[in-house]
Amino acid sequence: MSKYLTTIGLEVHAELHTNSKMWCGCKNDPRENRPNVNICEVCMAHPGTLPVANKEAIKKVITVGTAVGATIADFTEFDRKNYFYPDIPKGYQLSQYKLPIVSGGSINGVELTRIHLEEDTASSSHDNGTTLVNYNRAGVPLMELVTEPVVHSAEQAGDFARELQRILRYVGASEANMEMGQMRIEANISVSTDPNKFGTKVEVKNINSFAAVESAIKYEVERHIDLIESGGKVVQETRGWDENKQETFSQRKKENAHDYRYFPDPDLPKLYLSKLFDIESIKNSLPELPSAKKARYLSYNLKDDVVEILIDNVALARYFDNTITHFDMWDKDGLKEVSKAHVQAAANYLISDVLGLLKKENKELSESTLPAPRTFSVLINMTLDGELSSRGAKDLLPYVMNGQEIDIKKLAEEKGLIQKNDPELLKKIVAEVLAESEKQVAEYKSGKESMFMYFVGQCMKKSKGAGNPSLFQQLLKEALT
C-alpha cells in the first residue's frame, strides 16, 4: 500500500438547460454562434435595471437536489460576489454564499457539501493582443456542485463526474456537454503522508473532458509525490491543464484568499422555497435515475458494455424502454424469465445493427430516424420465432428506419424474406439440390465433409434465402445418411 494518501474534492459547474437567462428574458442558447445577440440592458448591467430570478432554473437545482437525496433549503437568498473583470459587466457575480438551495446528498457514495445557483460569465477570446468578449453567456443560469474532500483516486473522480453528467441529463437539468463547456470540473488535490492531515491543496481548473479529469489528477498526484520525495515543497496554487502536453501548469499562486466581500443582493427578494415549490411533488415526479436503470438492465442479463451504452444515452434508453414494453411479457411479478431473450435480442440488435445503420447513413438518433418501437418489437419477435433470419432482419431494417408503424410481416412477405419452416417444402428443395449435385454427393460420401456446407448454400440459394438454414442442415444430414 502506498504511504501517501490522496484527497480530492471536486467542484462542478453546469449550465442549466432553460429557455431564458437567470435574471432577464434573453434566450439561453449555447448553440448561438453570432456574438452578442442574446443580450439586453439587464444582462449588460445598464444602470437602473433590475434582475428577476428565473423560477425554472431554481426548480432545476431543486430537482437535482432531490435526485441526489439532499436537503432542500426552506429559505434561500442570492449574494453579490464582488470582483472586477470584463466578463462580468455588473462588477459582481450573483451567486449564493451562506444559504445554498441544496445541502448534502451523495452520488456514487461521494458526499456532497452543497449545490447552489449562480450566473455564468461572458466568454472571452484572446487573439494577437486583442481580447474579444461575447456576452451571450453572461447571466446564463449556472449550477455549482461542491463535494466533500472524500475522493481518493483519479478513477473515482472520473466515475463521479460521469454519474453526475447522467443524472443532470436524466432529470433534464443540463445537457452537460463537456466539450461545449456546459459542464466544467475543478479538482482540489492534496497528497499527505499523515492520514490525519491534508497535504497542501492545489486546485486544477477548467477541466473539459472525463479523460482530462483522470489524467490531470494522476499527473498532479505524481508531481506532489515527486516533490515530497525530493525534499521540495508543494505550493498552494491554481493550475491549469494542458491537453496537448498532458500536464498541469501554474496559473496563479494563492498567497491569500481573494476577498469577494459577499453580501446579500438588495435587488432580489429572499426566497421561501417551501412556499414557492411543492418539493414533495418534484421528488415524486423524478424519472428513473441512471443507477436504478442500470440495475434494471443488468437484471435482464444484458452485457455490461451494452448497459453502459444504453444508460449513457438518454434518448436511446428511452427508445429501448419503449420497445420492450411492446413485448407481451409483463406479469404481476415483472418480467417473465422466458422473455429476457427478447430484451437481450432487442438491445443487441439496437446497438449493433440500428446504430450501425444510423452511423453509416450519417443520421442523428431521433424518433423519425428509428423504427417505430412497436414495429421494432415485431421485428425482434419474428427473428426469435424463426420467421425471419438475422440476414432477413438486416435487409428489412432500411425500410423501417423512419418512425412509421409498418406492417413488417407484410413487408417481409413482399420482399420474399419470410423464413420458410415448412418441412415438406424444404425436403423437396433438399431432394432437388442433391439430385442436381451427383458429383459433389459422391465426393462427400468418399469423405470430403466440407461439401456439406456447399449443399446448405445451394438449398439457401434455391429457397432465395428464405429457407431456415438449421432446418436445411438437419434435413440434409438425414438425406445423406
Binding site for Zn ion (CB under 5 A): 24, 26, 40, 42-43
The 3-state DSSP class for residue 216 equals helix
- Which CB sits closer to Zn ion, 26 or 273? 26
Report CA dihedral (149, 153, 159, 163) to the nearest 10 degrees. 0
Identify which of residues 39 and 317 has a Cβ nearer to Zn ion in the complex. 39
Closest approach, Cβ 86 to Zn ion, in A, equals 17
CB of 165 to Zn ion, least distance (A): 28
Residue 97: exposed, middle, or buried by beta-carbon count in 10 A (0-12, 13-18, 19+)? middle
Nearer to Zn ion, 139 or 371 (CB): 139
Of the pair 118, 159, the CB lying nearest Zn ion is at 118
DSSP code at position 210: H
Which residue, 36 or 402, is less far from Zn ion as judged by CB? 36
Grid-cell match 449443399, residue found: 455
In terms of CB distance, is 26 or 207 closer to Zn ion?
26
Q: Where are the beta strands (DSSP E) in 70-172?
A: 71-72, 75-76, 79-82, 92-95, 102-103, 106-107, 110-119, 123-127, 130-134, 141-147
Q: Find the shortest distance in angstroms from Cβ 120 to Zn ion.
A: 12
Provide, rounded to whole angstroms, the least separation between the CB of residue 16 and Zn ion. Answer: 15
Question: In a 3-state reduction of DSSP, which class is residue 420?
Answer: strand
Rounded CA separation 256/451 (Å): 83
CA 313 to CA 349: how far, in whole Å?
16
- Shortest distance (Å) from residue 70 CB to Zn ion: 30
Q: Which is nearer to Zn ion, 42 or 406 (CB)?
A: 42
* Shortest CB 53 distance to Zn ion, Å: 13
Residue 61 CB, nearest approach to Zn ion (Å):
20
Q: Are 143 and 167 in contact (CB under 8 A)?
A: no
Residues 6+ apart with CB under 8 A from 354: 370, 371, 376, 397, 401
